[in-house]
Amino acid sequence: MEIIKSGTTIDFMAKRKAAFLISGILIIAGIVSLIVHGGPNYGIDFAGGTLIQVRFSQPVSPSEIRQGLTDVGLTGTVQRFGAEGIGEYIIRLQTTSSDLEGLSATINDALAKRFKGETVEIRRTEMVGPKVGKDLRTKGLQAIIFALIGILIYISWRFKFRFAVGAVAALAHDVLITIGVFSLTNKEFSLPVLAALLTIVGYSLNDTIVVYDRIRENMGRMRREVFEKTVNISVNETLSRTILTSGTTLIVVLVLFLMGGGVIHDFTFALLIGVIVGTYSSIFVASPLVVMWQKRFPAKGDKRRK
Amino acid sequence: MKGKFRWRLVLILFILIGAVIYCFPTLVRETPSWWPRFFPQDKINLGLDLQGGMHLILEVETAKAVESAAERIKNDLKTDLKKEHIFATYLDRVQGDKIEVALLNPDVKEKFDAYRTEKYPLLQEVDATQAGDRVKVLLEMDPRYRKDLERSAVDQALETIRNRIDQFGVSEPEIARQGENRILIQLPGIKDPQRAKDLLGKTALLEFKLVDEEYSLQRALTGDIPFGDVILYQKIEDPKTGAVRRVPYLIQDKTLMTGDALKDARVSFDQNNMPFIALSLNPPGARNFDRITAENVGRHLAIILDNNVYSAPVIRQRISGGEAVIEGRFTLDEAKDLAIILRAGSLPAPVQILEERTVGPSLGQDSINKGIKSIIIGGILVVLFMIVYYQLAGVVADLALIMNLIIIMGVLAAFRGTLTLPGIAGLVLTVGMAVDANVLIFERIREEVRLGKPPRAALETGYSKAFLTIMDANVTTLIAAVVLLQFGTGPIKGFAVTLSIGIAASMFTAIVVTRFIFDSFLHNVRVKRLSI
């Protein structure tokens, strides 16, 4: 069986203007959304705060939960968790409590008082103090930067600098778009989402490298060809593999997204976006960038050095 | 060729069997009786997010430990100066951990300096100002001594918390220092998080102080508190309504005895079957208690824990046996926990909760079920896809995929790794990505076949050409995973671990194992066309 017939020649390089336009719009939309929202919608991991997941014996109204919180002088947002009819809710508070009379106990009492005759089960609590939140933010940023530097060094060593530029630009593209989509859909940016971002970085690179590898190989064979054409042939030759691998990965990520449960919903959503954007970028962003870099800064003797 | 075959077969079987043996205890509920003793017995550790439990990060307020040390030094200094007839008009602790002394005149200052350098070398002069005859001196602790104090405060807190958890009885707790003054605590499977938090976080500073009975409590409550006294409260909870009453006491703020004097604390029951705490004192504590009770017969002695009065009984007679009791309206659990806290000793400084994550056991089980379901469904879809797309070669890739999963589990079990919910996601993701290496190889082989190469040559070139690409692609993913490993905590670390193991294992299975299967097949059967 074949999805992409051998000998397929799609002129990807000619489509780069359209591709850049699409990417540009997506990135700018994301950045605008980030500016409007005043930065990413940090989850409690990064912003500090408290998250409590409660389950009632039968569904109740979120506004009544909020009322129950107000009774004890707390304000927070309440969100249904999982399917309707389970009676499970997520309560988010900006308040943190470093003392021992934990918030969860206070909330448990308040809800038990408000909803008499129903059992309230606290299934999960997460409290992150502002200090730790700040630490995690710094650490997260460091993680992304170190990962990018490590990758830049590795690719510069294995390939050439201009490839590294294209690869890292494609990565930045993927990360920006994913963060942008999170901002546009108003989803929370939490620690697992950061982990997903780093995974996307690794994954998207995987795709990019396969294409680059083929370009390098073909550069040896097609010395007479225009560089642009070599790149285009290489992208086409690896297209089948790119689609296949993205396909299998997409299958499992989709399964995780649909069945993995609410706790990792945001995490799998980020992976889903990342896999799609990552595949797109290795074809439409990473490779054209190498061509453009080559046009702008033609390196002498490049064709000789393999 | 034959010899090389045999070696590869041995290596593959060795790894596969090893992985299966390590996986086995995890897959069964209980290891059967025939399972050899020297074989691995451990199941894969489940993270707190899967088995339920509590994760806490506490910060020891080391500044408070330094302050209380400064307070002690100040009190000693006050007594000593009096003894040495060095006349200070004023001496107190300022700015938290500094000590300010006002000396009568420059001569006294000289005497004071000589005395200080000899007897209090740890105190350094920060500033000295003269106003009229008086010389005002600001002193602070030697920074090295201060660092020592801070470090030992964290050490001691760690020790105390470990003691408390041991006595509370949690299976496989993890208690570790994190950074300079933080303590990480993981308590798997804990049922009552609030109780555990109460137990861990209490400073548990036990003090015995006298009640001031000469002065009117009523007047003190209006704000007119005599010098050297404080108002402390006793909390009394009505067992039926749960309403809390606060009873004030006027207490002389001089500590007669602290928890250091304790040898043991146990729960006992009075004639009404109400629990109380029986204390036994160590020899110096017993002597001290004997003296205190002898000197204050008829007065009330307040027993104070963390500035809460627990009881303030009348001293009826001198108590010489070194036994004392704390009465209160305890529930049995409260009494038990209090006894644990008293036995384990007090924390050298208060602690703050910086981070808390608690997952109930039912949610953890939900996550496990959903995770396993995702792996199975995702796995089946990928396996089917590979067979449909690559036919027999797809079957080979699927075999490698299954072996890959077994190896990951085996390595996790062997190195006592922890499986978390994102870790399961990592496992699922590996399923999707592991076939990538085979897709790369197979696509290459197809290209070679198209060029008209015979099966064996096509296989040979396909593998060798794809190898470097696979290497490069996986190393970069590994870089991201290793970075995650460095920066991540808890669940995220679990994800990075499974992802890293998955990458390494998939390179082995996708390259070595599939190649072996192809080679041995081609060796035994004459094939005209590859089923790929």
For residue B492, the tally of other CB atoms under 10 A from its CB is 26
Query: Looking at the structure, do residues A80 and A136 belong to the same domain, yes or no?
Result: no
Residue A159 lies in a domain: yes
Spatial separation of the C-alpha atoms in residues A54 and A90, rounded to whole Å? 6
Contacts 24+ apart (CB under 8 A), A149-153: A150/B479, A150/B483, A151/A201, A151/A205, A151/B476, A151/B479, A151/B480
Residues of chain A contacting B357 with CB distance shorter than 8 Å: 124-127
How big, in percent rounded to 5, are the helix, strand and coil portions of chain A?
65, 10, 25
Q: Is residue A4 part of a domain?
A: no
Q: Which of A23-27, B18-22, B496-500 has the lowest mean pLDDT?
A: B496-500
pLDDT of A35 reads 93
Query: Does the domain at residues B63-146 carry the CATH identifier 3.40.50?
Result: no
A160/A236 same-domain check: yes
Contact A213 B468 (CB under 8 A): yes
Q: What is the DSSP string of B355-398?
A: EEEEE-HHHHHHHHHHHHHHHHHHHHHHHHHHHHHHHHHHHHHH
SS (H, E, C) B121-152: CCEEEEEEEEECCEEEEEEEECHHHHHHHHHH
Residue B38 β-bridge partners: none
Instruction: Indicate which CATH number applies to the domain containing A80.
Output: 3.30.70.3400
Q: Does A140 reside within a domain?
A: yes
Asked if the Cβ–Cβ distance from A209 to B353 is below 8 Å, we say no
- The residue-averaged pLDDT of B431-448 equals 87
Q: Please, what CATH class does the domain formed by B202-358 belong to?
A: alpha beta
Are A174 and A26 members of one domain? Answer: yes
Report the CATH architecture of B2-51+361-524: Up-down Bundle (1.20)
- What is the percent of chain A where pLDDT is above 90? 21
Alpha-carbon separation of residue A5 from B46, B385, B439, B455 (angstroms): 46, 18, 15, 21
Q: What is the predicted pLDDT for the residue at A176?
A: 92
The share of chain A scoring above pLDDT 70, in percent, equals 95
Do A139 and A238 lie in one domain? The reply is: yes
Question: Is A271 in Cβ contact with B370 (below 8 Å)?
Answer: no
Asked whether the beta carbons of residue B353 and residue A203 sit closer than 8 angstroms, the reply is no
Strands A49-56, A88-93: pairing kind: antiparallel
The answer to whether residue B59 scores a pLDDT higher than 80 is: yes
Portions of chain B given CATH number 3.30.1360.200: 202-358
Domain count, chain A: 2
Q: Is residue A302 part of a domain?
A: no
Residue A111 located in a structural domain? yes
What is residue B531's predicted lDDT score, i.e. its pLDDT?
A: 79
pLDDT computed for residue A303 by the predictor = 46
Q: Give the nearest chain A residue to B432 (CA atoms).
A: A249
Task: Give the pLDDT mean for B372-393.
Answer: 91
Predicted local distance difference test score (pLDDT) of residue B290: 93
Looking at residue B199, its pLDDT comes to 84
Distance CA B445, CA B461 (A): 7
Per cent of chain B over pLDDT 90 is 23
Domain that holds residue A157: 13-43+132-296
Q: Which of A81, A112, A128 is the last residue of a domain?
A: A128
Can you tell me the distance from the alpha carbon of B308 to that of B310, in angstroms, rounded to the nearest whole number?
Answer: 6
Same domain flag for A53 and A39 = no
Domain check: are A179 and A251 in the same one?
yes
Q: Would you say residue A303 lies in a domain?
A: no
- Quote the tokens at residue B512: 């070595």
If asked whether residues A257 and A114 sit together in one domain, one would say no
Distance CA B158, CA B161 (A): 5
Domain end residue (candidates: A128, A149, A176): A128
- Comparing CA positions, the residue from B199, B182, B202, B181 lying closest to residue B190 is B199
State whether A112 and A190 are in the same domain: no
Express each pLDDT in B283-332 by its tens digit.
999 999 999 999 999 999 999 988 889 888 889 889 888 888 888 778 88
pLDDT of residue A202: 79
- The whole-angstrom separation of Cα A272 and Cα B378 is 14
Q: Which of A288, A286, A38, A32 is nearest to A173 (CA)?
A: A286
CB-CB: which of B57, B357, B374 is closest to A259?
B374
Segments of chain B assigned to CATH 1.20.1640.10: 2-51+361-524
Mean pLDDT of B370-382: 89
Query: Do A287 and A231 contact (CB within 8 A), yes or no?
Result: yes
Which of A93, A112, A128 marks a domain boundary?
A128
Q: How many residues does chain B have?
A: 532
Is A270 contained in some domain? yes
Does the beta-carbon distance from A129 to B353 stay under 8 Å? yes
Q: For B51-95, list the strands marked E by DSSP.
A: 53-60, 88-94
Residues 6+ apart with CB under 8 A from B75: none
Q: Which residues of B touch A123 (CB under 8 A)?
A: 359-360, 362-363
Contacts of B355 in chain A (CB under 8 A): 127-129, 132
- In degrees and rounded to multiples of 5, residue B485 shows phi and psi of -60, -40
pLDDT value at B3 more than 80: no
Integer CA distances (angstroms), A43 to A126, A184, A193, B50, B173, in order: 11, 15, 10, 21, 28
Domain check: are A106 and A226 in the same one? no
Which amino acid is present at A115? F
- Rounded-to-integer distance, Cα B402 and Cα B404, Å: 5
**Residue range(s) occupied by CATH 3.30.70 in chain B:** 63-146
Q: What does A226-288 look like in DSSP terms, one character per residue?
A: -HHHHHHHHHHHHHHHHHHHHHHHHHHHHHHHHHS-GGGHHHHHHHHHHHHHHHHHIIIIIHH
Mean pLDDT (whole number) for B234-262: 83
**In DSSP terms, which residues pair with A128 in a beta bridge?**
A49, B355
pLDDT by residue for chain A (306 residues), tens only, comes to 777 777 778 888 888 889 999 999 999 999 999 999 988 888 888 888 888 898 888 888 888 888 888 888 888 888 888 777 788 899 988 877 765 556 777 888 888 888 887 888 888 888 888 888 888 888 888 888 888 888 888 888 888 888 888 888 898 899 999 999 999 998 989 888 888 888 888 788 888 888 998 998 898 888 888 888 999 999 999 998 888 888 888 998 999 899 888 888 888 999 999 999 999 998 899 999 988 888 888 765 544 443
Q: Are residues A139 and A120 in the same domain?
A: no
Contact criterion met (CB < 8 Å) for B353 and A100: yes
Q: Are residues A33 and A55 in the same domain?
A: no
Quote the CA–CA distance of A227 and A299 in Å, as a whole number. 12
CB-facing half-sphere around the CA of B12: CA atoms within 13 A:
20
What are the Cα distances from residue B105, in Å, to B125, B138, B244, B408?
17, 15, 54, 78
Q: Which of B421, B473, B483 sits opposite A198 (nearest CB)?
A: B483
- Does one domain contain both A61 and A109? yes
User: From A268, which residue of chain B is nearest by alpha-carbon distance?
Assistant: B425
Region B260-271 average pLDDT? 88
Asked, for residue A223, whether it belongs to a domain, the answer is: yes
The H or E element containing residue B206 is strand B206-210
CATH of the domain at A140: 1.20.1640.10
